[in-house]
Amino acid sequence: MERMPLNKVFTLMESGPVVLVTTNNGEKSNIMTITWTMVMDFTPRFAITTGRWNYSYAALQASEECVIAIPAVDLIDQVIGIGTCSGADTDKFKKFGLTPIQASHVSAPLIQECLANIECRVIDIIEDHNIIVLEAIDAYLNSSREENRAFHAIGDGTFVADGQKFDRRVMMRSKLPDGV
């Protein structure tokens, strides 16, 4: 085995799906790209990592709500563009050709072009680690999309898309919650 520099170790574990997080500050909606996500358990709880360096953070902290939108790989260039400009001076929906849709329970919009949208409420902010814990309150799938592959950031400017699926549900049955 070869030693790996510790400053690159995160690239071994970063590969959760790239998501878009929408917020609304009471005046306008914004989108930020997040590559650091975590499923908390078998309940609809998730965590994202973000902080004051992101323009959307103030709206997320004040409103205590957001939408997690999961884009497909055909949106990769828009998603990267969203993550490399600021909502302080850019209408990201307009610039990247994305359609905001009124959510049912939160003021942040859904994104029509995404594979799925999850309306969330903030249930905890762990400021020392820039972790926002979210609880899903509603969710939507976009079954009309032709491209359904989510994609994942490696952390070094490269990405991978979902590929072959391996079904081991029978082997895993004892560990899966009812209905999954």
CATH of the domain at 32: 2.30.110.10
The number of folded domains in the chain is 1
Percent of the chain with pLDDT over 90: 75
Question: Looking at the domain assignment, is residue 3 inside a domain?
Answer: no
Q: Which pTM value belongs to this model?
A: 0.91
Within-domain flag for 2: no
How many CB atoms are closer than 10 A to CB 95? 13
Which pLDDT value is given to residue 101? Answer: 98
- In this prediction, residues 105-131 reach a mean pLDDT of 97
179: pLDDT confidence band, cut at 50, 70 and 90?
A: confident
Residue 47: exposure state from Cβ atoms within 10 A (0-12, 13-18, ≥19): middle
pLDDT in tens, 1-24: 887 777 877 666 666 899 999 999
Q: Say if 71 falls within a structural domain.
A: yes
| Structure confidence by residue, pLDDT tens digits, 41-99 | 888 999 999 999 999 999 999 999 999 999 999 999 999 999 999 999 999 999 999 99
Determine contact, residues 50/60, Cβ cutoff 8 Å.
Answer: yes
Q: At 74, phi and psi to the nearest 5?
A: -70, -10
Per-residue pLDDT at 173 exceeds 90: no
Q: Which two tokens stand for residue 44?
A: 């609809």
Residue 105: inside a domain: yes
**Residue ranges making up the domain that contains 136:** 16-175
pLDDT score recorded for residue 12: 66
In this structure, is residue 1 part of a structural domain?
no
Q: Is residue 5 part of a domain?
A: no
Look over the chain and give the mean of its residue pLDDT values, rounded to a whole number: 92
Q: Which phi and psi (to 5°) does residue 139 adopt?
A: -150, 150
